[in-house]
């Protein structure tokens, strides 16, 4: 009998333990999905704000289609994440419904047993009083055992009552949770329908613009190549500045390496920069990446290839450019027919901030993380405010997305 009760308690505990684990796991996943959904909503809000701020009618069709591509991609991601949330809620609802059914059955069994116990106790009280039950004992030892029995029986009744109370509260809480989950699911489904309609409208606009682009594909291909040549020219100038700085550091140390000859202080700064990889702040407070790092197919003209040595960040007008880490201004370069670029050295690492309208620092200045170093240039013809940002180790480019927080 004791073994049976022990087995029952162990099984009950194990079921409860695994249910808790599942619940915690689902809650964590739901929080993660909601965080991602809010992030995507914020991205869509930013792109809408940028489209609104920019002189959209004057924008080139290539720029328009790039905006549409980004927004369509974000809307697709939003639908995907929202569906995942709804599916997870469906599983949670089914799980909780099963829990409620089991709880109701347990509660009914407990109440039935408790009622039978109360009836039995009442009958026993009528048939023979507790005093007579004790007085009829053959000796003191038996009387003591009977007294303990009465106490145990009374305590057992109280325990059963407490269990019923706890189960009732648990059932009520589960019912409340279930209603909220159903409500949350309906809200997600409704939001997804709105997103689907917006996505369809964006796709129609995308098709119309692409149809116009395809009619003049050669012209747009030439424009893309011209932009790539301009980007390459700026990158070569930056590479030249970095290599000159490396040569200068080696000359001072009386060496001839192809890497920076660092002081102890500079080595410590580089180590700190590396230690913060993946958590560096964005170079602008608000912005979205419209062109990523590396060699890639052009998002519009598929026959054209782009080589991006950094990232292109669309931001708001008059956006302040911020240093992503402590360092020293290596150079402020203004390339012919181009806008200023600021290079900041962090030991043997360098960050580059291109396409500025204003510059607040000069060569040799010490800067701190998030310090404003300039203002992003805004193109008056189309209203676009674009910062080009790069990361280098010596003169070799790095992927900024690996260094900047959640890029």
Q: What is the pLDDT of residue 204?
A: 93
> Which pair of structure tokens corresponds to residue 406?
């959640």
Q: What is the pLDDT of residue 52?
A: 65
Nearest to 113 by CA among 163, 147, 152: 163
Q: How many CB atoms lie within 10 A of CB 359?
A: 18
Domain parsing of the chain, residue ranges:
2-215, 226-402
- Range with lowest mean pLDDT among 267-276, 362-371, 377-386: 377-386
- Range with lowest mean pLDDT among 11-20, 51-60, 284-293: 11-20
List, for residues 124-154, the tens digit of each pLDDT value.
554 455 555 555 666 767 667 766 766 666 6
Euclidean distance between CA atoms 151 and 310, whole angstroms: 79
Identify the burial level of 70 via C-beta atoms within 10 angstroms of its C-beta, where 0-12 means exposed, 13-18 middle and 19 or more buried: buried
Q: What is the CATH number of domain 226-402?
A: 2.70.70.10
**Virtual CA dihedral for 279, 282, 288, 289, nearest 10 degrees?**
-70
Residue 237 banded pLDDT, cuts 50, 70, 90: very high
Euclidean distance between CA atoms 331 and 321, whole angstroms: 15
Query: Sign (positive/negative) of CA torsion 153, 155, 158, 159?
Result: negative
Which residues are bridge partners to 70 per DSSP?
none
Distances (CA, A) of 348 to 50, 189, 365, 393: 35, 51, 17, 6
Nearest to 30 by CA among 77, 74, 71, 90: 90
The residue among 347 and 110 whose pLDDT is bigger is 347
- Range with lowest mean pLDDT among 6-10, 138-142, 394-398: 6-10
List, for residues 12-54, the tens digit of each pLDDT value.
555 555 555 555 566 888 899 999 999 899 888 888 877 766 5
Sole residue written with tokens 């965080």 = 35
Question: What residues contact residue 322 under an 8 Å CB cut-off, 6+ apart?
Answer: 281, 282, 283, 284, 285, 369, 370, 371, 372, 373
Alpha helices in 313-366 (DSSP H): none
Residue 58 banded pLDDT, cuts 50, 70, 90: low
Please state the pTM of the whole predicted model: 0.68
Q: Assess whether pLDDT exceeds 50 at residue 382.
A: yes
């Amino acid at each position: 009998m004791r073994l049976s009760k022990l087995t029952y308690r162990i099984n009950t505990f194990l079921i409860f333990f695994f249910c808790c684990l599942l619940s915690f796991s689902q809650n964590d996943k739901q929080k993660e999905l909601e965080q991602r959904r809010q992030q995507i909503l914020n991205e869509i809000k930013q792109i809408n704000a940028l489209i609104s701020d920019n002189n959209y009618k004057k924008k080139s069709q290539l720029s328009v289609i790039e905006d549409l591509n980004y927004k369509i991609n974000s809307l697709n991601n939003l639908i995907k994440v929202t569906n995942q949330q709804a599916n997870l809620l469906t599983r949670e609802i089914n799980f909780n419904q099963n829990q409620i059914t089991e709880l109701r059955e347990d509660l009914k069994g407990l109440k039935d047993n408790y009622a039978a116990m109360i009836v039995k106790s009442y009958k026993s009280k009528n048939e023979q009083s507790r005093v007579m039950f004790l007085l009829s004992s053959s000796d003191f030892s038996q009387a003591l055992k009977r007294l303990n029995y009465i106490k145990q029986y009374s305590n057992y009744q109280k325990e059963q009552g407490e269990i019923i109370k706890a189960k009732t509260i648990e059932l009520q809480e589960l019912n409340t949770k279930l209603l909220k989950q159903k409500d949350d699911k309906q809200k997600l489904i409704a939001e997804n329908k709105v997103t689907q309609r917006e996505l369809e409208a964006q796709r129609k606009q995308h098709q119309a613009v692409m149809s116009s682009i395809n009619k003049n594909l050669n012209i747009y291909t030439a424009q893309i190549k011209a932009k790539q040549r301009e980007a390459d020219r700026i990158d070569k100038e930056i590479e030249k500045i970095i290599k000159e700085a490396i040569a200068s550091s080696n000359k001072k140390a009386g060496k001839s390496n192809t890497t920076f000859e660092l002081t102890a202080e500079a080595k410590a700064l580089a180590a700190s920069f590396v230690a913060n990889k993946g958590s560096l702040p964005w170079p602008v407070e608000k912005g979205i990446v419209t062109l990523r790092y590396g060699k890639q197919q052009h998002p519009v003209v598929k026959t054209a290839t782009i080589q991006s040595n950094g990232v292109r960040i669309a931001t708001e007008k008059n956006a302040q450019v911020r240093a992503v880490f402590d360092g020293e201004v290596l150079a402020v370069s203004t390339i012919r027919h181009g806008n200023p670029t600021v290079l900041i050295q962090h030991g043997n690492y360098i960050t580059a901030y291109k396409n500025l309208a204003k510059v607040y620092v000069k060569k040799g200045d010490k800067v701190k993380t998030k310090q404003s170093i300039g203002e992003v240039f805004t193109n008056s013809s189309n209203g676009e405010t674009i910062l080009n940002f790069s990361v280098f180790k010596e003169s070799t480019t790095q992927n900024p997305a690996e260094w900047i927080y959640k890029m």
